[in-house]
Structure 1
Amino acid sequence: MQSILQQQCEELAGRRYPLHMPGHKRRVPPAPGLSCYAFDLTEIEGADDLHDADGILADAMARTAALYGSDRCWYLVGGSTVGLLAGIRAAAPFGSEVLVARNCHKAVYHAIELGHLTAHYLVPPVVPDFGVYGSMPPAAVAAALDAHPAVACVILTSPTYEGVQSDLSAIADLCHARGVPLLVDEAHGAHYLPLARPYGWRGGAVEAGADLVVQSAHKTLPSLTQTAWLHLQGSRIDAAAVERELDVFETSSPSYPLLASLDGCTTWLQTHGDTAFAAWRQRLDRFAAAARGWRHTPVLGLGAEGQGFYDFDNGKILLRIGREGAAFLRAAGFEPEMVCGPNVLAMTSPCDDEDALDRLAEVLTRWDAGASAAPAAEALLPPPGPARCTIADALRRPACLRPLAEAVGAVAAEYVWAYPPGVPLLAPGEEVTPAFSEAVTALTAAGTALHHTGAGADGKLAVLG
């Protein structure tokens, strides 16, 4: 017997092929642990305890750590979000300073807010043809470390939501030479592990030497939604502090089906990973070969704009085809992961159907033949305005609503972002700039819904009064 919600979800799932997460792609379960009733347990005798693991869960987490080459691995049932909240709290004492990439997920900003941290932003260059962030230059990190020697840690995102990677090995060396730990949000790079190297994926943040690495197994691998890993290396961040913060931020009743799907994903990688990654690479290479013949359908990483990247994961297919192109994909039976401004993101995984990307290429070839020109890349990512106070301070002070045009020059009292990807266009405590106003206008005109976390909406913004 099915619930109404299950019926509705299954109806939606059956309409179009998923070019979005989760990575298992709703196929016949490719990994053990994706059907759950028989083992939906609690912390009974013999089942171990995620918050004090010394039995079967400890063994499972040790298997995953060995697969990735980390010193410790914690299973997360609150997504990468809980790993970021706990990891940043463990690495950065209350009220301290951090260096943080401006393209980090909103969970990073929430950790900054809760810890009353002072954030010094690292702003990656923007790729003009797509209006997305490129790789973080190591020289920029070095300069920021010199300018802010008291920071408790450095927080970066690599790969980005769109698949752009940074030179984490060089950045880790820079951080460690100054005694500063590096925390990497690798939520979209759980498939970056040693066995993937022969098939074109660089070693990930663990191999690069990052101190804490957060990965969402569910995004690109066969694991249930909400499952993630947190890896620790070295002694710059105290493992006991990480465990304490996980006890604060993660549920005290973790789901054993979710935990089992993480161990099942590990088993699948150990037994089928080589074959699956080889086939995935072949599918992606065939798609890229077709895409190079298109005249009006830009693909991130395949054109001249990719030359400024340290590296790019073409398992993410970012297309500049706008909302009309997204509608064309849906009419042809594909559901994309994201539509934001002129960009449409298709996510692939090692669990895709063998012919899925061939069919996608055929659909996009038809689109390209009928398209006159690609939509222009808008000013999607305004540079952050000057920080006038910390995020926590801004959220505690009295605020008022102003029309967007009249808010320029004031100090923001709320976050504004498009979701996905959940990267703030504006954070509390920042000065509202003309560039932000222009970006909001362009995104709204393109049909992108923007999320406000305060009272702002309908052309108004919450600012400090």
Structure 2
Amino acid sequence: MVTPVAPLADAVAGHARERWHNFHALPLTAMIDELPDRWRAAYAAVLAPGADLSLSGAALDSPFRPSGPLAQAQRRAARFFGADDTLFVTGGTTLANHIALDAALESGPGEQAAPPVVVLDPSCHQSVFFAAHGAGATVLPAPSGLASRGTRRLDADATVELLGARHRSCRPVAAVVLTAAPYDGSRLALDRVLPALVAASPRTVFVVDEAWAAAHALHPRTAAASTLSLRSEPARLIVTQSAHKTLLALRQGAYVHVAGEEGLVAAVRRAFFRRHTSSPSWPVLASLDLARAHAELEGREAVARALARRDRLVAGLRDDPRTRELVPTDGTGGNPMMVSLRLSDGVDASAVRRTLLEEHRVVLARAVQGSLLAHVHIGVTDADVDALTRALRAIATVPAAVGPHWSGAVAEDGPAVGTVLDGFLVTYPPGVPLAGPGDTWTTDHAQVLAAHRRGGSEVFLVPVAR
């Protein structure tokens, strides 16, 4: 018998045999054996070989005009999360954001015969920038300031002024895109910011990317980062959630929630039809239904356990003189399910992250500008917390720094100051453009890029189609 040559399949199988301690996105298939019996049996059924069905329409349900079990599942999800309508997406929040922005630009107010105007939070995922430019919208960067860890942070008060001024002058913004819980571990104060933005421009459609915040609606300590928990009239909202990052859903499973009038709901469903595959993965869709069921029945307790483990991780590190300086504060004001680990000056965060991965099988969310980010999601166990704590205590030396990774026609030290870009310059992680078409490269950009390079980010120059 000839052995198949399949290097990727071999690599995936090899990794699957390892026991990983994952502080990034929730690894559902790796933790199924640790679930209580009723959930283990339910997930095993939808992951069985025969569950990857090539069926649709009358045989199971239509992905675009559901009337059977998919329709029932989406209605249950909408009711539970507090939306008027919910769609299940099998292409992650990258696809969900394209769907949401298409619908928002179609439904939002604007000037007649002029391209729709969209205001983008500087921490938006790259998919949002690509979708906005691809739709031909006029993109206005939201007012912002340079924050820590090489990121820019939304200036909420200035953004309220911008929306209000355009509304009063009859030049309203069609859509605003916000990031509830950015990849750097911070958190947008939605409870303060969203009502003020809606009041300033009530007909604008607000798209909120909750890629890292789907579970936040489940517990009082985290609900302030949950858009639909704060819903009020007359807000017109579209919320995207990468369910697999924080709930018990398979990878690429995402929700699009809509809160608003029937016209907005219809626009989102039209955008879904234009963008989504007609051959969705039924196991992914079924896992989104199970993720909602688990969240509804046991979500609050699951998030409470995760928060307790997050607090135990912080306490364990602060109680040991070898690791005390990693957590100089309790992280108040940030994402309550994240822990930012501050390294000493001169220590290469990407090298520490690589050591944790290769020698201790610990996966962390991000390394940038002298810090590491651990996401304590509902799949993290006490054994995972102990493994991370032991690993951080064990690391005594740091490997040599790795060089930056570049793609595209850009000099290794970045564009020259004063250069006008003809595309997006994106670092991954976190997948947030540092600058876009028509932007002039500044010393601020260069400093942020240098911080991302030190964190080992890949850098991409993405040209814009002409």
TM-score by length of 1: 0.81
Which amino acid in structure 1 is aligned with residue 230 of structure 2? A
Q: Give the structure 2 partner of residue 220 of structure 1.
A: 246
Tell me, in whole angstroms, the C-alpha distance in 1 between the residues paired with 2:239 and 2:415.
41
Offset at 1:206? 1.0
CA separation of 1:451/1:293 partners in 2, compared to 1, >3 Å: closer, same or farther?
farther
Question: What displacement does 1:272 show?
Answer: 2.7
Aligned residues: 421
3-state secondary structure, aligned to 2:278:
coil
Shift of 1:278: 2.6
Alignment of 1:364 onto 2:392: yes
Q: In 2, Cα distance between the equivalents of 1:257 and 1:405?
A: 43
CA distance in 1, matches of 2:160, 2:445: 27
- Structure 2 stretches of 5 or more lacking a match? 107-113, 344-348, 402-407
Q: Distance in 1 between matches of 2:205 and 2:30?
A: 38
1:242 has 2:268 as partner: yes
1:344 pairs with 372, 377, 380, which one? 372
Please tell me whether residue 120 in structure 1 is matched to residue 140 in structure 2: yes
- 1:368-447 correspondence runs (5 A): 370=396, 407-444=416-453, 447=456
Corresponding residue to 1:448 among 449, 457, 465:
457
Cα 1:124–1:317 change in 2 (3 A) is: farther
Equivalent residue number for residue 142 of structure 1: 160
**CA RMSD between the two structures:** 3.1
1:446/1:231 CA distance change after superposition, 3 Å: closer
User: For the residues of structure 2 that align with 1:336 and 1:89, how far apart are their CA atoms?
Assistant: 33
Counterpart of 1:168 in structure 2 is 190
Return the match for 1:60 from 70, 73, 77: 73
From the superposition, tell whether residues 420 and 157 of structure 1 become closer, same or farther in structure 2 (CA, over 3 Å). Answer: same
Q: 2:382 — aligned with what?
A: 354
Distance 2:459 2:119 in 1: 26
One of 300, 306, 318 as aligned partner of 1:292: 318
Identify the range of structure 1 (57-66 vs 28-37) with the bigger mean alpha-carbon deviation: 28-37
State which of 209, 212, 215 in structure 2 corresponds to 1:191: 215
Distance across 1 between alignment mates of 2:224 and 2:138: 32
Deviations 1:230-279 (A, max 9, x none): 11112296111111111111111111111011011112223332332232
**3-state SS in 2 of match to 1:314:** coil
Name the aligned partner's letter for residue 67 of structure 2. D
1:26 is paired with a residue whose SS is helix
Correspondence for 1:325 among 337, 352, 367: 352
Query: Retained in 2: the 8 A contact 1:224–1:261?
Result: yes
Paired amino acid for 1:348 = V
What is the Cα deviation at residue 176 of structure 1? 2.8
Give the match for residue 405 of structure 2. none
| One-letter code aligned to 1:257 | P
My pick for the range that moved more, 141-150 or 412-421, is: 141-150
2:150 is equivalent to residue 131 of structure 1: yes
Task: Give the Å deviation of 1:103.
Answer: 0.9
Pairwise CA distance, 1:168: 1.8
Aligned-partner Cα distance in 2 for 1:285–1:79: 29
Q: Counterparts of 1:175 and 1:140 in 2: how far apart (Å)?
A: 10
Q: 1:115 and 1:325 mapped to 2: Cα distance?
A: 41
- Distance in 2, Cα, partners of 1:434 & 1:250: 40
1:290 Cα deviation from its structure 2 partner: 2.0
Equivalent residue letter for 1:96:
P
* One-letter amino acid of the counterpart of residue 51, structure 2: F
